[in-house]
Structure 1
Amino acid sequence: MKRDTDKLKENLILTGVEEIKQNGIDSISLRTVAKSCGVTHGTPYRHFESKENYLNTVLKHISTLLDGELIKDVDISQNAKEQLIQMGVNLINFAKKYPNFFEALFIKFPFKYMKFTDKTISDTSDFPGFSRFKEVVILLRKEEKFINSESESLLHFWSFISGLAIIAGSLVGNELDNETIKNTIRSMLEIYIKGERQ
């Protein structure tokens, strides 16, 4: 019985992930998810209690996918700047490949699972994609001896790379190849680091 319950719960999550991938987070409905899984519309509520809890679980699943994409070709023996450049390229490629996932995580719902303070930005729900990015930014701050707050660095880098991802996913950005993206991120980081050293 437990195995069937776990299997159904996983099916509900994966159905939500696929729904977001195909149609975006705004179109997701627990009734539609239940119907796709062949269960009554009350079943998702029995497993997740609310739509918000369900979405949080689905977004965590998507964030785990993002985490796997973020670390592709990242060489942890390199300095934080080089790691962050590769992560930026990977995030932009993720946004191009999965535009609805990117929108759900970085445009529609970031403030649902993130807490901003004067000192830092923390994810309140264990979203590994953002956690990985944060680790590298903190390492860069240490290597480059930044004087600004951790939250400022996180917000600056996150907004720059997310903004670049939005441009890269647009019709205008279709011309941006990985080398151009990498050079753009490198240039921004060098300007930022130079500003922090003064």
Structure 2
Amino acid sequence: MKTALADSAVRIVEQSGVETFSLREVARDAGVSSAAPYRHFSSKEALLAEVARRGFDQLHDELAEAGASSDRRSSFLTRCVAYIGFARRHPALYRLMFGAFPNKHRYDDLVEAGDRLFALLNDPLAASPSDKAARAIGCWAFVHGLAMLALDNQLRAHLPSEDDDSLLAVLQPLADTLMGTEPT
């Protein structure tokens, strides 16, 4: 039952966003009574935390698969493109994952999922110089910013297209800087 409720919640967030999200709608979608969600989730926020955690896990898995190359630079670039692609395919879920979630610290599973994702995205930077933490945050800010610009349709006016090749052209100088390599 808990899984079915969470599955319904993900579907609803993906279709409608969180603005109108309700436990009643989740119960209706899952085909259970309106009281059923409260047996498994203490609140609407707890269910949304579960949805966000699932999003982080899904994005983590997609990045792990995309960045399976042994070449650090290639792994980094393909993970960045996959990150932006995930945001484009799942805009409402992505906004929930990275939006204002005031009590995120209450949900250990959610915090851990976010930390695993951050570590994976920045794993190719592991061999970088001692300022790795600053580089990792800079990388995340850059890629997250590109994802948000893509979601808000702000890249169209500045890129020839929004395909992976155009994104790679934007990301390559970042990879060169972060990894201390010469531009290609």
Secondary structure at 1:109 match in 2: coil
Q: Post-superposition shift, 1:103?
A: 0.9
Q: Post-superposition shift, 1:133?
A: 3.7
2:90 maps to what in 1?
Answer: 98
Q: Post-superposition shift, 1:136?
A: 4.7
Percent identity of paired positions between Structure 1 and Structure 2: 26
Moved over 4 A (4+): none
Rounded to whole Å, the distance in 2 between the matches of 1:136 and 1:38 is: 37
Rounded to whole Å, the distance in 2 between the matches of 1:147 and 1:171 is: 33
Q: Post-superposition shift, 1:41?
A: 2.1
Normalised by the length of structure 1, the TM-score is: 0.75
2:43 maps to what in 1?
Answer: 50
1:5 maps to what in 2?
Answer: none
1:89 maps to what in 2?
Answer: 81
Deviations 1:92-143 (A, max 9, x none): 11111111111111234397259xxxxxxx986331x651441452551x41
Rounded to whole Å, the distance in 1 between the matches of 2:109 and 2:26 is: 26
User: 2:113 matched to 1:131?
Assistant: no
2:147 maps to what in 1?
Answer: 165
- Retained in 1: the 8 A contact 2:66–2:78? yes
- Retained in 2: the 8 A contact 1:113–1:123? no
Rounded to whole Å, the distance in 2 between the matches of 1:101 and 1:65 is: 11
- Retained in 1: the 8 A contact 2:55–2:93? yes
- Retained in 1: the 8 A contact 2:104–2:111? no
Normalised by the length of structure 2, the TM-score is: 0.80
Deviations 1:49-105 (A, max 9, x none): 2222222222112222212322343234112x3322111100111111111111111
Q: Structure 1 pair 154/191, CA: closer, same or farther in 2 (3 Å)? A: closer
1:147 maps to what in 2?
Answer: 131
Q: Post-superposition shift, 1:163?
A: 0.7
Q: What stretches of structure 1 of length at least 5 have no aligned partner?
A: 1-7, 115-121
Q: Structure 1 pair 145/171, CA: closer, same or farther in 2 (3 Å)? A: closer
Rounded to whole Å, the distance in 2 between the matches of 1:147 and 1:39 is: 52
Q: What stretches of structure 2 of length at least 5 have no aligned partner?
A: none
RMSD between aligned residues: 2.7
- Retained in 2: the 8 A contact 1:70–1:91? yes
- Retained in 2: the 8 A contact 1:62–1:101? yes
